[in-house]
């Protein structure tokens, strides 16, 4: 209940000043404590609120996550992530953290809007395969970056994927909110994690956990972006698992083009119910869905689309040795004919006009 009362204590125009915590960018030990003015609140959740703020003296604009409590888990995760380049790995850029009254304040770069907000504004009208390809590449690179520092996000969802600036950099995305992130070695068998709608089957079944839970969720999100609908309801774990195993009545696409077929193949490999058979981030980045043609997907700049190569046989590449190097950012692909924004489907359009048959690949052991 505390977060609902935060407006009584934190108002627009209020100045936040407090003791610095953790790693602070651009602040030395002899410099005064940070002072930031709240311009407006951007959103709220169970953790607290997010405010757009201006750092006095520098006029730097930041987004500050205001948490009731210590926020130490997220600060620890951000310290780990400081080992890698946030921009290169499509992760939100951490600025600083400090205490204000009974709150912990964590400052980040300001981003545009969440994928959830973006999809809601367009009535969940599906994205094109090319647009999804651009987003998928970035999210898998983010997972590879997390794995390089032995972190698992544990709470990936549409709300926690942000568009950086949809006008100037179409479909450039970053992963945010590391408040529930865990070290891979600290994940407990049987632990409950992830939003129930995006929960991986091994979490539901109480099996051993690792980074595969994040890959499942990214695959699920790509499915939602592709179809505009969710695979199952989220009223109970049993019903979700039952829907996963049966995989009946799912939106299907009888793809006549190679790019669509490759996407469906990648999706099947990301949504394997058995985590030991699920594709890894390194393998996913080598999948023909990304490697076809002469360029790979990157958001934000204007280039021509890649030429279609001869038919590509779909197969898994051997898993590459994990390292902390960033996958080379390939030349950009402009999203193909993005629809007007916001977009509402016409009566003749149906977001359930297609289906992906995953049943043959989804068996519970």
Encode pLDDT of 217-268 as tens digits: 999 999 999 999 886 555 555 555 555 555 533 445 555 588 889 999 999 9
Is it the case that residue 45 has pLDDT exceeding 90?
no
Task: Specify whether the CB–CB gap between 247 and 362 falls below 8 A.
Answer: yes
* Residue 246 phi, psi dihedral angles, 5° rounding: -75, -40
Confidence of residue 1 (pLDDT cuts 50, 70, 90): very low
User: Do the annotations mark residue 254 as ligand-binding?
Assistant: no
Residue 161 DSSP SS3: strand
CATH 1.10.510.10 location in the chain: 113-361
Name, in order, each residue with C-beta under 8 angstroms of 44's C-beta and a sequence gap of 6 or more: 3, 6, 50
pTM to 2 decimal places: 0.74
The CATH superfamily label for domain 7-108 reads Phosphorylase Kinase; domain 1 (3.30.200.20)
CA distance 221 to 173: 13
Confidence of residue 126 (pLDDT cuts 50, 70, 90): very high
342-363 pLDDT per residue, tens: 333 333 333 333 344 444 443 3
Is it the case that residue 284 has pLDDT exceeding 80?
yes
**Structure-block tokens of residue 320:** 């590459």
The pLDDT of residue 57 is: 83
Domain covering 113-361 in this structure, CATH number: 1.10.510.10
DSSP-assigned beta bridge partners for residue 21: 97
**Residue ranges of the alpha helices (H) in 112-167?**
115-121, 129-148
The pLDDT of residue 303 is: 36
Confidence of residue 18 (pLDDT cuts 50, 70, 90): low
How many C-beta atoms surround the C-beta of residue 181 within 10 A? 21
Confidence of residue 302 (pLDDT cuts 50, 70, 90): very low
In this structure, the strands spanning 103-108 and 48-55 are: unpaired
Q: Tell me the mean pLDDT in the region 167-195.
A: 88
Most confidently modeled of 40-54, 135-149, 249-263, 290-304? 135-149
The pLDDT of residue 219 is: 93
Q: Which are the catalytic amino acids?
A: 155
What are the distances in angstroms from CA 319 to CA 111, 123, 266, 287, 294?
33, 38, 15, 11, 22
78-92 pLDDT per residue, tens: 999 999 999 999 999
pLDDT: which is higher, 289 or 191: 289
């Amino acid at each position: 209940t505390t977060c609902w009362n935060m407006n009584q204590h934190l108002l627009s125009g209020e100045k936040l000043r407090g003791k610095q915590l953790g790693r602070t960018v651009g602040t030395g030990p002899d410099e005064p404590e940070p002072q930031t003015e709240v311009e407006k609140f951007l959103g709220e959740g169970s953790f607290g609120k997010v405010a757009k703020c201006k750092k006095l003296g520098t006029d730097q604009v930041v987004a500050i996550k205001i948490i009731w409590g210590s926020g130490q888990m997220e600060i620890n995760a951000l310290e780990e992530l400081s080992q890698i380049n946030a921009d290169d790995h499509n992760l939100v850029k951490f600025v600083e953290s400090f205490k204000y009254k009974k709150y912990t304040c964590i400052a980040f770069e300001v981003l545009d809007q969440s994928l959830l907000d973006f999809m809601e504004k367009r009535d969940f009208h599906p994205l094109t395969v090319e647009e999804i390809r651009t987003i998928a590449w970035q999210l898998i690179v983010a997972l590879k970056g997390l794995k390089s520092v032995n972190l698992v996000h544990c709470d990936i969802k549409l709300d926690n994927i942000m568009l950086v600036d949809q006008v100037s950099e179409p479909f450039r995305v970053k992963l945010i909110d590391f408040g529930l992130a865990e070290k891979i070695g600290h994940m407990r068998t049987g632990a409950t994690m992830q939003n129930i709608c995006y929960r991986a089957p091994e979490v539901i079944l109480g099996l051993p956990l690792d980074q595969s839970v994040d890959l499942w969720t990214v695959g699920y999100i790509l499915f939602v972006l592709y179809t505009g609908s969710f695979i199952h309801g989220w009223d109970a774990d049993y019903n979700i698992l039952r829907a996963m195993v049966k995989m009946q009545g799912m939106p299907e696409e009888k793809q006549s083009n190679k790019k669509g077929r490759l996407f469906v193949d990648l999706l099947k490999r990301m949504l394997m119910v058995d985590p030991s058979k699920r594709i890894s981030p390194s393998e996913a980045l080598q999948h023909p869905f990304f490697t076809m043609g002469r360029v790979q997907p990157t958001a934000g700049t204007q280039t021509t689309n890649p030429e279609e190569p001869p038919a590509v046989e779909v197969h898994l590449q051997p898993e590459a040795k994990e390292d902390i190097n960033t996958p080379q950012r390939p030349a950009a692909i402009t999203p193909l004919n993005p629809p007007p924004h916001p977009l509402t489907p016409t009566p003749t359009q149906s977001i359930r006009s297609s289906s992906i048959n995953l049943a043959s690949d989804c068996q519970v052991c």
